[in-house]
Amino acid sequence: MARATGFWVIREGDNLYRISRHFAPEGAEVSRLAKELQEINGHAMMFGDPSRLVVGARLRLPERLVTGRTVASPPATAPPSIAGGAREPKQALPPTSSIDRKPPGPDAAPTALPASLQADSKPAPAYVDQLIDGALVETEDRRSEERARDTSPGLRSWAFEYRLDGRDTNTLGSSVSQGTRLQHRRETERYGDFAIDAEFGRESTDSGQGGPGTSSSKVTVYHENFALSGNAVANSTLGVTRLALSPFLASSYRVSLPSSTIAGATTSVAMPDGEWRAGVGRLGRISGSSVQDFEFTRGRIASLEYARRLADQWIAGAGIVSVHGSDVVRDNTTLTLGTEFALPELASRFKVQGIVDDRAAKGFWVDAQRRDGRLAQRSGGYQLDPDLIFSDATPLRDTRGLYWRGDSRSGADFTSIGVEAAQTNLDRDPGRGGATSVGATVNTTLRIDRTFTAGAGLSIRDERPRTPLGEGREVGLASAFVSRSNPWGQSRLDASLNLTRPEVSRTERIRTFSWSQDWPRAAAIETNSLVMLSDEFLAERRGRRLSAGLGLRGPLYGSLRWDASVTGVDIQDGPDSERNYNSNLSLDWNPAASWLVRLQWQRNRIQPSPDNPQSRFLRENVVQLTARYELSQGTPYPSVGAATGRSGTGRIAGVVFFDENGDGAKQATERAAAGIIVVLDGRRFETTDAEGRFTFALVPSGDHRVAIVVERVPLPWGLEDESPRVVKVEVREDIRLDIGLKRISP
């Protein structure tokens, strides 16, 4: 049935691979089809996750899989011309509903078939059978879909999650954390998308001293894709969030400006030629592992940013961040200005940015990009003054430098070369370390054939101290690897040598060898292993580290899967010797498409050698339980070609009627015209219902043209002026448009 209708109705327990197996016989083809279904059916996945399909949604199949369905309406023809009897050219019309075949008024006269069609009117049972079969299949699938879910417009999704975390250590005692998380997202036609993410938890400890437990909470509300006008759309956040400048100002190749965790509000307003960003709130930090909490710290922060597109490939922007009352940094206000532009004639792109705080500490950086065929180049320079402060982060490290990097890629082969010179501790403060360094790196990866890949890398750096007590050194790192597919799976061997040659001390070197292996599946069980050996020849001692790990995973029963791993590390380092063990076991279970249950157990153990007085024996056991339930209702709104998205649209609605008195307004005694096709902008079609009504939803703001297909209007009715009617739609506006049909013949 899915091949006939062109879609698959998602049911409980379905996943992309299970669905693909109905249409592809082999494993590789199943994987390719599953990936293709994921790419063309984003609307049928919760939060964009292909493993969480929306039950009841229609999964559109690729065209090559759709066969045996022929649903078409008989071609509509105009009546023969009175003058010559020649027929007018046929016009392609959209499929019509069954109501189209009913005469809209008593004045409609039956139209005789043209003579050419009457002369050879043979029965076509194959066509009739196809039409009936297709209609029955589509009706059955539609009823199944209606039973499976609510198909009202606008996707609404819920997710409920419970987490339990129990820990026991021989040093800190035991603790139990419980948390509940609620996520909800709702699409609206006119007011954007709303989402809430709330998390509540409680932790109790037993360290031998007693004490009450602690509660935690973290709530964030999102309002996205809300059109403020025909060319401006806003995205806002309220609650626990991150306050950051846009990526345009916050990041570059060598310098990045940090973000802050706050409890407050942020908003951004995007327009075709610019964007505003603003935020304000109290500073804090995220704590906890399985159950997270927001802890307030001292201080408040506010930021404002504006970026504007000055030309097709030229952007400029400015941002200001102010912090007051923090216990980490002094009160500060910092301004940053940046611009980015392209020079197409040079195949290059440049970015220049500067920063200054309220005590005149400054910084700047320049990035350049250029592409010559397969070679992509990046170069630039940067400098940050001592004690420069941005946001609530500790002062940025004072540094200056120049760099160049070139990357060449050809198929699976890749080569990268880079050089850099840098300085730190620009003021040569004797209380801080710092150096002048010059270095270069080379890395290459070659795919010899389909089963064999090899690579190597070399990095060297020369460091000279910027303080009297510092010691210069030369540092080098060489590495290589080979990877090969073989009857025993996928094997990879790595080797590296790290050399450090100080000016005064002895040369230090560290040699590392590793072997990783992905073994062939055995009874649906996947196995991988890793063995690593490291010899350390340090200035004062020699050490050796040996580690080995084994991982296994596979199905247990039905949708229940297991995953286990164990790792051991033996450190032979004189008085610092110790042995470490880490083991992990987890169970994942999907009892239904909407449910996920995960149980995980971890055990860590550190056992020092008898002559290691610095380390103490440590044992930790962790048990974590997660249960998650997801639910969705409704169907996603169709995508809209408006710059402001769905919420920047309006509606056009009205009635088509028989205008008996010719005044252009529908009177109570005038009949509605059913089955008339109304066309919006020559692309969207609606057929009037029994009351003559039509509605176009999600119409982008601006001017639009509305027309009707006059060939579907019964004689003797028509339009005095068949040209489209121009309608102007504003954001979230309902436009009423009634169309009266006039008598065009006695």
Using one digit for the tens of pLDDT, what is the confidence trace for 216-225? 889 999 999 8
pLDDT value for 210: 45
Q: pLDDT category, 45, cuts 50, 70, 90? A: confident
Residue 534: is its pLDDT beyond 90? yes
pLDDT value for 503: 86
Q: pLDDT category, 31, cuts 50, 70, 90? A: confident
Residue 241: is its pLDDT beyond 90? yes
Residue 368: is its pLDDT beyond 90? yes
The position carrying tokens 């001692």 is: 541
Residue 204: is its pLDDT beyond 80? yes
Residue 377: is its pLDDT beyond 80? yes
List, as one string, the DSSP characters of 502-522: ESSS--EEEEEEEEEEEEEEE
Residue 53 burial (10 A CB sphere; 0-12, 13-18, 19+): buried
User: What mean pLDDT do residues 600-628 have?
Assistant: 82
Contact 252, 351 (CB under 8 A): yes
Residue 74: is its pLDDT beyond 80? no
Residue 69: is its pLDDT beyond 60? no
pLDDT value for 610: 65
The position carrying tokens 């200035």 is: 539
Q: pLDDT category, 16, cuts 50, 70, 90? A: confident
Range of weakest confidence among 25-29, 271-275, 464-468: 25-29
Give the span between the Cα atoms of 350 and 597, in whole angstroms: 50
Bridge partner list, 663: none
Q: pLDDT category, 492, cuts 50, 70, 90? A: very high
Q: pLDDT category, 710, cuts 50, 70, 90? A: confident
Residue 25: is its pLDDT beyond 70? no
CB atoms inside a 10 Å sphere around CB 450: 8
User: What mean pLDDT do residues 416-433 have?
Assistant: 91
- Buried b / exposed e along 371-401 (16+ C-beta atoms within 10 A): eeeeeebbbbebbbbeebbbbbeebbebbbb
Q: What is the mean pLDDT of the chain?
A: 83
Q: pLDDT category, 134, cuts 50, 70, 90? A: very low
Give the span between the Cα atoms of 427 and 435, in whole angstroms: 11
**Geometric angle at alpha carbon 255, from 250 and 256, rounded to 5°:** 35
Identify the residue with better confidence: 462 or 111: 462
pLDDT value for 290: 73
Range of weakest confidence among 24-33, 184-193, 585-594: 24-33
User: What mean pLDDT do residues 601-605 have?
Assistant: 93
User: What mean pLDDT do residues 132-151 have?
Assistant: 51
Range of weakest confidence among 26-40, 131-145, 230-244, 288-302: 131-145
Of all residues in the chain, the percent with pLDDT exceeding 90 is 51
pLDDT value for 653: 94
The hierarchical CATH code for the domain 646-743 is 2.60.40.10
CB atoms inside a 10 Å sphere around CB 15: 16
Residues 6+ apart with CB under 8 A from 155: 43, 54, 185, 186, 187, 632, 633, 634, 635, 636, 637
Contact 448, 454 (CB under 8 A): yes
CB atoms inside a 10 Å sphere around CB 252: 20
Range of weakest confidence among 99-113, 251-265, 322-336: 99-113
Q: pLDDT category, 78, cuts 50, 70, 90? A: very low
- Buried b / exposed e along 674-700 (16+ C-beta atoms within 10 A): bbbbbbbeeebbbbbeeebbbebbbbb
pLDDT value for 687: 92
Q: pLDDT category, 55, cuts 50, 70, 90? A: confident
Give the span between the Cα atoms of 671 and 688, in whole angstroms: 13
CA distances from 461 to 451, 473, 476, 621 (A): 35, 9, 6, 43
> What's the pLDDT tens digit per position in 264-281?
999 999 998 999 999 999
pLDDT value for 359: 92
**Upstream peptide bond of 636 is cis (omega within 30 degrees of 0):** no
Contact 366, 380 (CB under 8 A): yes
Q: Which secondary-structure segment (H or E) carries 36? A: helix 27-40
Tokens coding 274: 């610019």
pLDDT value for 33: 85
CA distances from 607 to 292, 550, 614 (A): 30, 20, 12
